[in-house]
Amino acid sequence: MLACPFKRAKTNPLITPDDLPFENNGVFNPAVADLGDEMVLLLRIERREGISELRIARSPNGVDNWEFADEPLLSPDLPDYPFEEWGCEDPRITRLENGQWAVAYTAYGRYGATVAVAIIDDSFESVERLGSVTMPPNKNAALYPVKFDGRWVMLNRPETGGRPQIWYAYSHEDNLAEWTLPGLLIPTHLGPWWDSTRIGAGAPPILTEDGWLLIYHGAKAAAGVLTYRLGLALVDRDDPRKVLARASDWVFAPVAPYETDGVAGNVVFTCGAAVRDDEVWMYYGASDMYVALARADIKDLLEFVWKYNYLEEAGRDKGMRD
């Protein structure tokens, strides 16, 4: 067995459905905003009827004593935002270099999933919606915190060539509502690979000395059951179109009981991470029911992605990738 750089918090799961003051099916896949003296999560809460809303939770230490907002920050806003009819899901918050808190989330409705973007105010009490910014089907979007040549860049997950895989897009000028110049960044693997059925961006990119670290999810079906695991890739610091490394092996998989048994068993799914003292605090949804935390040293994650780098071992040029 490979050593796993991530260590689960001893008090996992950190947040369960029973912690909330109203009935719900699950609380999972949170976005993360690290304020230093406080950790803010934007929780996805699936209500009893099945529709998800996004609600703020705050903790002084990022582990316990969570306080939940009285009202959702984002919930389906009809009739103005019809693409949200069936829910607001899987948010990713990025602190942009201009100081704004931007959130990309899935607006889910009868036409499928679209990527929606909103700006959150500094108190995390209100949002300004920019609306859906892609056509369906597209989800799993995460913004880089910096501009590249004057444009923002967003990871997103359209379904192309029949495969759900990770693309990038550039903003038109610096407009967060208009996206252009798309390209395929990370394809799904094929055949028996752990990330062969679908992949998507996880936490927003984390800047390291070797480039942008991506923690992404990959799913594989076995005996009719989809297992969601997490993998690592590195993107060039100056060119978000260029993958420097991608670990062949997954780095984190569902094994704890709260990950294997829940609303959707065998799922770990991250939408946000904080970096504290060179350590990545990865918050994740476990089995679409709980919020959990695992931590890893950045240096161990970089060592992992380079050690198991499939690009280097097999190489695009040998025609082994689609």
Binding site for ligand BMA (CB under 6 A): 29, 89-90, 228, 264, 267, 269, 285, 288
CB closer to ligand BMA out of 197 and 309: 197
- Secondary structure element (H or E) that encloses residue 155, with its range: strand 153-160
Tokens of 60: 């002084």
Nearest distance, CB of residue 52 and ligand BMA, angstroms = 8
Cβ neighbours of 97 (radius 10 Å):
11
- CA torsion sign for 58, 59, 61, 63 is negative
* β-pairing verdict for 166-172 and 153-160: antiparallel
- Nearest one of 153, 79, 159 to 112, comparing CA atoms: 159
Nearest distance, CB of residue 114 and ligand BMA, angstroms = 13
Question: How far is residue 184's CA from residue 289's CA, in Å, rounded to a whole number?
Answer: 31
CB closer to ligand BMA out of 189 and 198: 198
CB closer to ligand BMA out of 263 and 275: 263
Tokens of 287: 């089995």
CB closer to ligand BMA out of 84 and 90: 90
Question: How far is residue 273's CA from residue 282's CA, in Å, rounded to a whole number?
Answer: 4
Nearest distance, CB of residue 288 and ligand BMA, angstroms = 5
Nearest-5° Cα angle at 33, 28 to 34 = 120
Nearest distance, CB of residue 306 and ligand BMA, angstroms = 28
Tokens of 135: 């056509």
CB closer to ligand BMA out of 208 and 227: 227
Nearest distance, CB of residue 31 and ligand BMA, angstroms = 12
